Amino acid sequence: MPTYAFRCPDCGGTFDERRTFAHSDDPVTCPACGGGGATKQFGTPMVLRKGMAARALLEAPGRVPVASASAAHSSGCPCCSGGSVPPASPTID
């Protein structure tokens, strides 16, 4: 389910709210002041490339460097050899 950013015209506060695509344009009430008419804000979407999440975890402070970690995997390992990983089963929110 997507998270949308909103800005309240009454108090100027910003807040996030998770909504389905079908309800993304429904009216929203500001949680800080209770004012109505908060507007949806548009920002930069987060774009991930293949392998970015695994690499970020492997390169986190205190973790083994990527080169050392990949040496421990087999030659056919999808995360090290650039192969594809089967998609995860869809989940229902």
Instruction: For residue 16, give the 3-state DSSP assignment.
Output: strand
d(CA 4, CA 9): 16
Q: Which of 93, 83, 85, 2 is nearest to 42 (CA)?
A: 2
Q: Where are the domains of the chain?
A: 3-41, 52-80
pLDDT digits (tens, 9 = 90+) for 34-92: 998 898 888 776 666 666 666 776 676 665 555 544 455 566 666 655 555 555 555 56
pLDDT digits (tens, 9 = 90+) for 4-43: 899 999 999 999 999 898 988 899 999 999 998 898 888 7
Q: Say which DSSP state 93 is in.
A: -
Structural tokens at position 50: 């293949």
